[in-house]
Every structure is written in C-alpha cells, then in structure tokens.
Structure 1
Amino acid sequence: MPLITEPNLYSPDDFYADLIAAHEGLSDEESEALNSRLILILSNHIGERETLKQALEAAKKS
C-alpha cells in the first residue's frame, strides 16, 4: 500500500490540540515515552511493513 502524503487528516488542528494536551504536565522523558507508544500503536494499526518503511523514509527527509 503506498504511503498517503497528501493532507488526509480530518480536522488536523483539533488533532494537534489533542496531541499537545496529551503532553501537558509530562516531563521530557514521559513525553518521549508517550510519543514512542503512540508510534507503536499507530504502526500496529497500519500493519503493513512496506508502508511503514515509506513513512520512515519520508520522516528522515523532512
């Protein structure tokens, strides 16, 4: 499955606000751990290694 790189997120500003709120009150270490867990949960949801590899490459480029 090809990686979707065009805007595809419903209400991105609301999601960004939720993401920031999830980090409120956390130490840097706790915030990094939250990000790591979120990455693993979303990776599991995607489930396709090739798509995840494309996402890693896109993230490295940006």
Structure 2
Amino acid sequence: MSISTEPRLADPDAFYAALMEAHRGLDEAASRRLDAALVILLANQLGDAAAAEAIRLAREAVAGPLGGTG
C-alpha cells in the first residue's frame, strides 16, 4: 500500500489555523490527547495498511527509519 504525500488540502493555512484553535486553552497533557485522538480518527479513515505507511513516513521525516542511526 502506498499513500500519497502530494498536498491535498485546499487551504493548508486554514487547516493549521483550525488545528491551533483546537489546542487553545489546553494544557500540555490535553493537547497531546487531542493530537492522539486526531491521529486515531484520521488513521481510521486510511485503514490499516495506509495508516502503517503513514506512521513509517512520519517517523522517517522526523527521526530517520526505525532501527536506523537517526
């Protein structure tokens, strides 16, 4: 399974603004729970194979491959 990494949001700035607004007033723990809930909801939309691919791509983007030196 391969997921698209091409931009698909019509207005990425509006998405970012909405995400930041959702975090407004939350402490760090609640903010992390919000992010986790959002990830789970979006992963559910992708399905198992694409969600696993998304995890791999996100990990590589921030820290290199699992099991690597990153």
TM-score (norm 2): 0.81
Q: Structure 1 regions of 5+ residues with no counterpart?
A: none
How many angstroms does 1:18 deviate by? 0.1
Which protein is bigger by CA-based radius of gyration?
A: 2
Equivalent residue letter for 1:8:
R
Higher relative contact order (CA 8 A, sep 6+): 1
RMSD: 1.0
Query: Identity across aligned pairs (percent)?
Result: 38
Q: Structure 2 regions of 5+ residues with no counterpart?
A: 62-70
For structure 1, which segment, 11-20 or 49-58, has the greater mean C-alpha deviation from structure 2 after superposition? 49-58
Deviations 1:24-51, CA, capped at 9 Å, x for gaps: 000000000000111111111122x111
TM-score (norm 1): 0.90
Matching residue of 1:43: 43
Query: How many residue pairs are counted as aligned between the two chains?
Result: 61
Matching residue of 2:57: 58
CA distance in 1, matches of 2:45, 2:50: 11
